[in-house]
Amino acid sequence: MKLDRHSSIPLYAQLRELIMERIQSGQYGPGEKIPSEMDFCKELDLSRPTVRQAISELVSDGILEIHKGKGTFIAEEVERILIPHFTALSFSFLNLNSYEDIGLRPIKLLEADKETDKLFRFPENQAHPGYWLAEWPLIFKEQVIGNCQSYIPVQIFPELGQSITVGKRMIDVKSNKYAYLPQKGSITLCSRPAKHKEASLLDIPRRSYIIACEGQLFARSGHVCEVIRVIFRPDLVCLEIN
């Protein structure tokens, strides 16, 4: 790429693209120092404000970083934790082989609520004994990177709460229930500001953006056997989708 002084694209924007190209081509690598403003002025015969504008935009894009007294550097990509093969079933509680090592919080018994009933496709206003809520954090290197909530209908698993409280093994909790275990699922993923509780669970400022997933897991029987709500810290996590 060469700068074109007759183009309708302003020179600072052309310089910005030129620097981007040099980064993408590997001429400037992550963590490396780039030439100074003066160097760019000389090399490309540009004015200082033009160079400054290009660099300041790249800084505000998070592509360059100014280290005071040292110069301008190519920002190093934050290494995110990859959640491999992410699917609707990735954070199913019922699909776990064991809940021993996940930091499971005490199981709660929740009353029916309309929003969750809708996800379970329960007919409106039909009384039922509520859901078990299994909740656990996603932790990587001692840092909370997400939070999982799993709702399981008491109707289908009447003793789940008690069984887990007394430490029954997962294989025994699930025995004779194979028709009611998740086979497939459908979740929606969006990115939105964290609510109060979510921000404190993830240890981030309120209204920070999070990745939020919510949806249904279906059993062989066709019933919704589990509803999941999973949130992730987007600055720490990336999801692999196949």
* Contact between 223 and its own copies per CB under 8 A: no
* Contact between 127 and its own copies per CB under 8 A: no
Tokens for 28, please give them.
């400037």
Write out the H or E segment, with its range, that includes residue 59. helix 48-60
Looking at beta carbons only, is 98 or 242 nearer to its own copies?
242
* Contact between 242 and its own copies per CB under 8 A: yes
* Contact between 184 and its own copies per CB under 8 A: yes
| CA proximity to 191, closest of 239, 136, 151, 149 | 239
CB of 108 to its own copies, least distance (A): 13
CB of 107 to its own copies, least distance (A): 18
Distance CA 188, CA 214 (A): 6
* Contact between 121 and its own copies per CB under 8 A: no
* Contact between 126 and its own copies per CB under 8 A: no
Contact 217, 60 (CB under 8 A): no
* Contact between 195 and its own copies per CB under 8 A: yes
User: In this structure, how many other beta carbons lie within 10 angstroms of the beta carbon of residue 231?
Assistant: 25
Distance CA 40, CA 51 (A): 7
Looking at beta carbons only, is 24 or 176 nearer to its own copies?
24
Contact 159, 107 (CB under 8 A): no
Task: List Cα–Cα distances, 213 to 42, 45, 149, in angstroms.
Answer: 51, 51, 10
- By CB under 8 A, name the one of 38, 82, 109, 179 that touches its own copies: 82
* Binding interface with its own copies (CB under 8 A): 16, 21, 24-26, 57, 60-63, 80, 82, 86-88, 111, 113-116, 184-193, 195-196, 206-207, 209-211, 213, 215, 234-235, 237-242
